[in-house]
Structure 1
Amino acid sequence: MAATIQSLLEEISGVEDPVEELQSLKTALLSIPVSALRDAVSGQRFDLIFSLLDTNEREQVELCVDILERILLALSPVHVVQNYRAELQSGLKHPNETVKILALTQIGRVVEHPDASTEILNNHELLQGMILCIREEKMAVAKRAIESLSKISHSKPGLDKLFHSDLLDVLKDVMASSDIIRYRVYELLVEISSASPISLGYCASSGLISQLLGELTGDDVLIRATAVEMVTSLAHSQHGRQYLAQQGIMDKISNMIRGAEMDSFSSLYLPGLVKFFGNLAIMDSPQQVCETYPAFLNKALEMALDPDPAMIGVGLDTLGLLGSTVEGKQVLQKTGENFKAVILRMSQLASSGANELRVRSLDAISQLLTLQPEQQTEDLLSLTESWFHLLSNKPMDMIRDISTQPFPELHCAALRIFTAIASQPWGQRMMINNPGFMEFILDRSTGQTKEAKDAKFELVGSLVSSSTSAEILGSQNYIRLKMYLKEGPYYVTAVASVGTEGAE
């Protein structure tokens, strides 16, 4: 194999237009498993392929990139950095985006390796080149630069390089390029900050996190909306949430929700504010968040009843997320008539809204109705049953009608509601008392997509795993359900073909 590769390299070096020869080398490399390729390429130099990147011929460049991707993947990060560091560095300045992405990807591999990362951290020009890639026009290049730079920050020496050297000035200069680039740098900072309290400390001391938080109340509403998204990402880590609380950000966002009615452009950033608290509630305590910031829950309930589809969707998603927890269910129940009105709206939208809103309504309903076996106290079972009955005079028929409509996404979303109630005794009683329902569940001819078969299988699994279903559904139905489960989601009944020739 090594001899073949060597001979192909020699062929390439001897021609003026090497596209055909490069294609042969690429084919040869792809035919060798990566594990075997390591031995075949480790003793060889590929400077020639790197040198062939220096052309305006796009096909030649892309073939070289494909070849180098394959070769470098087979080599250890230590070998790559020791033998091709200069080539990777020049790749960051190449006019073709695929070359930049190749270089950034390999640098990302190298910095994750403890024995190889020092070579990168000691190369100031290379690190600067990575930062400059954040302002590249092609988003794929910028994303890969952000990804690789965040890997550098996983070590203290990496953090010191980025924040305690003149690279911080390079980062700030890049930020000044435009609003879009500034937000790419914020994305990097949030990525770094989320890794650990120490990483957050470095970012905060640079002053750039304070700058991001200041954008929340800026004059430009679009920038404000993007800032809310960034701050929501920062709140995903516990240390991030603690930092935001210390900076008074939760109070600030709550006040922004309160003041939104006075701002004609609030629809641009209000969904983000509500999502922020929705995520916060799930990660901390729904009750505590809703009690401390009542403006959030009131606004989420309002949005679900809003005529604007963009508002409705966020309201539904947020209330569904909140109601997916026991504590959240109890908080929603305490709002009384307000929440009943929302459930009626969900029912109306699920039956006759635009398709996207129908699916979001059905998903919210399934989250609200879901109870894990250990959560099934008498009070909570009574609560989910009462919510189900609010959907319609005949909620089983309503959901079943939706599941038979010719839209796979609606079919699956409706089945998820049946799955939610399938583990609860009252849900099982409704199923057995609904004529033809068990046949509907066991009928494999309904819902022919993979997603539909998986959703049906999950419903059957939910019934079989319940400790009460055998008694409530009856042993015959229970045995049939167990057989369905044993056969798997994609089982097809074999039909014997019968010859009719000469039957007369």
Structure 2
Amino acid sequence: MASSIEKLLEEISSSEDPAEELRNLKTAVLSVPFSALRGSVGVHGLGVIFSLLNTNKREQIDLCVDILNRVLMALSPVHLAQSYRAELQTGLAHPNEAVKILALTQIGRMMEHLETTTEILKNHSILREVIRCIGEEKIAVGKEATRSLYKLGHSKPGLDTLFRSNLQKDMKDLMATSDIVRYRIYELIVDISSVSAVSLSYCANSSFISQLLAELTGEDVLIRATAIEMVTTLAHSQHGRQYLAQQGIMDKVSNMIIATDTDPFSSLYLPGLIRFFGKLAIMESPQQVCETYPAFQNKVFEMALDPDPALTVVALDTLGLLGATVEGKQVLQKTGEKFKAVLVRMSQLANSGATEMRVRSLDAISNLLTLQTEQQTEALLALTESWFHIVSVQPMDMIRNISTQPFPELHCGALGIFTAIAPQPWGQKLMISTPGLMEFIVDRSTSKSKEAKDAKFELVGALVTSSTAADIMGSQNYLSLKTYIREGPYYVSAVASVSTEGAD
């Protein structure tokens, strides 16, 4: 096959209309393993395919790109740099989106290899072209360009080249062209900053981050919304959170939350502010964040009761995130009647309204009620049991009714709540005392989709692995559950087929 590829390359080089030969070559390279492709291009190499990109014929370009994508991925970064660096650099300026992405992908591969990265860093013209691609109209091109440059943030030579040369000015000049391009570069800067404390210091010293932080309080509310998303990403790393704290950003975001009460356009960026603190609470400490920035917790409760579904959804997700941790549960419990009102609201939303809102409510309730085995202290078991009974006067009936409705996502959401309480002794007592529930749990016909079968299997597994289930639920029920687990989630019982002579 390798010899036939080399022969096809020869034929293409001498053809005036190579479309048919390109189709044959594409079929050939796709049928050859990567290991065999490495030695299949022969003395002619891929130069002829690169040259055929210089056309207005869309099919010819697409065929060439498909062939090059396959063969170049089989070559080492060193081979790419030695044989095709000039062709790839030319591809960065090609008018076709697919050619640009091909070139950026392969240059990105070179940036991952120590030897070839050194060569790329010496060639500022290639890097300048990659930076220019960030500003391309096509989103896919811009993303591939930022993905390639991000790899430079993993080494000091790469950081020096990007931030201590005139390439930094190239990026700043490009940022001035449009809001979209500016935020693509912010995204690159945030991604590089997240690599390490060293990479963050380069980005901070270059003033990119201070410019981003200033956008938080800009006049344009849509820009504020985008800026808070970027800052939230920066907060994912420990060194990023430390930097933000040093810059007073947590206080600034808290003040922004307070100011939303008087801003008629706050609903456009308020969800981002809440998500910022929600992520911060999980990564740091729910208690510390809620006590230090009470405006955050107060606003989440307010949003949970708000008629605006966009705000309510964010509040539900945030409460579910907080309540998934023991510390978060304790923080919410301390608020007393405020949180009880929110739980009642969650129950109302789970019972009626748009399907997505119902699912989000069920998921939040499930997170709030979940306790791992090692977390099952007397106090925490009493807490989750009390919350469960706030959800409804007859919570087991309510969840069971939701699980029987003809919407797979609601069925799985309801099963998720049963799974949350299944390992807890009080939950097992409620299950065994609810008429028909154990039969429902082991009845495979009630779960039709793969997701539903998986959710039911998880519920049964949560019961079987509990140390108290056998005693509380009785040997017969426990045996049925173990049989269910042994048979697996997709078991189908064999049914004998009986035919009756003469029947229609």
**Letter paired with 2:329:** K
| C-alpha distance in 1 between matches for 2:339 and 2:480 | 39
Change (3 A) 1:35 1:495: farther
How high is the TM-score relative to the length of structure 2?
0.98
Aligned equivalent of 2:493: 493
Distance apart, 1:42 and its partner CA: 7.1
Change (3 A) 1:349 1:76: same
| C-alpha distance in 2 between matches for 1:490 and 1:38 | 44
Structure 1 residue runs without a partner (length 5+): none
Aligned equivalent of 1:64: 64
Aligned equivalent of 1:216: 216
SS of the aligned residue for 2:154 comes to: coil
Structure 2 residue runs without a partner (length 5+): none
Aligned equivalent of 1:203: 203
SS of the aligned residue for 2:493 comes to: coil
| C-alpha distance in 2 between matches for 1:482 and 1:23 | 57
Aligned equivalent of 1:324: 324
Distance apart, 1:480 and its partner CA: 1.7
| C-alpha distance in 2 between matches for 1:73 and 1:497 | 54
Aligned equivalent of 2:275: 275
SS of the aligned residue for 2:445 comes to: coil
Aligned equivalent of 1:361: 361
Aligned equivalent of 1:53: 53
| C-alpha distance in 1 between matches for 2:364 and 2:20 | 56
Aligned equivalent of 1:228: 228
**Is 1:18 matched with 2:18?**
yes
**Is 1:150 matched with 2:150?**
yes
Distance apart, 1:452 and its partner CA: 0.9
2:347 touches 2:391 (CA, 8 Å); kept in 1? yes
Distance apart, 1:44 and its partner CA: 5.6
| C-alpha distance in 2 between matches for 1:470 and 1:121 | 66
Change (3 A) 1:171 1:298: same
Distance apart, 1:221 and its partner CA: 0.7
| C-alpha distance in 2 between matches for 1:379 and 1:41 | 71
1:42 touches 1:75 (CA, 8 Å); kept in 2? no
| C-alpha distance in 1 between matches for 2:394 and 2:297 | 29
State the Cα deviation string for residues 210-232 of structure 1 (Å, max 9, x = none).
Answer: 00000001111111111111000
Aligned equivalent of 1:5: 5
Q: Which is worse superposed, 109-118 or 201-210?
A: 109-118
Q: Which is worse superposed, 476-485 or 124-133?
A: 476-485
Change (3 A) 1:314 1:119: same
Aligned equivalent of 1:341: 341
Change (3 A) 1:473 1:164: same
| C-alpha distance in 2 between matches for 1:239 and 1:33 | 43
**Letter paired with 1:468:** T
Distance apart, 1:14 and its partner CA: 2.5
Aligned equivalent of 2:451: 451
Distance apart, 1:262 and its partner CA: 1.1
**Is 1:136 matched with 2:150?**
no
Map 1:410-421 onto structure 2 (within 5 A): 410-421=410-421
Aligned equivalent of 2:440: 440
Aligned equivalent of 1:465: 465
| C-alpha distance in 1 between matches for 2:78 and 2:327 | 51
**Letter paired with 1:189:** I
| C-alpha distance in 2 between matches for 1:370 and 1:317 | 15
State the Cα deviation string for residues 123-144 of structure 1 (Å, max 9, x = none).
Answer: 1110001111111101011111
Cα RMSD (Å): 1.3
SS of the aligned residue for 2:409 comes to: helix
| C-alpha distance in 2 between matches for 1:192 and 1:43 | 40
Map 1:83-162 onto structure 2 (within 5 A): 83-162=83-162
2:9 touches 2:44 (CA, 8 Å); kept in 1? no
SS of the aligned residue for 2:446 comes to: coil
Change (3 A) 1:13 1:39: closer
| C-alpha distance in 2 between matches for 1:88 and 1:37 | 19
Moved >6 Å (runs of 4+): none
**Is 1:34 matched with 2:44?**
no
2:6 touches 2:42 (CA, 8 Å); kept in 1? no
Map 1:396-435 onto structure 2 (within 5 A): 396-435=396-435
| C-alpha distance in 2 between matches for 1:483 and 1:35 | 48
**Letter paired with 2:478:** Y
Aligned length: 504
**Letter paired with 2:290:** C
State the Cα deviation string for residues 113-162 of structure 1 (Å, max 9, x = none).
Answer: 12221121111110001111111101011111111100111111000000
| C-alpha distance in 1 between matches for 2:476 and 2:43 | 68
State the Cα deviation string for residues 230-284 of structure 1 (Å, max 9, x = none).
Answer: 0000000010000000000000000111111111111111111111000000000
Q: Which is worse superposed, 200-209 or 114-123?
A: 114-123
Identity %: 72
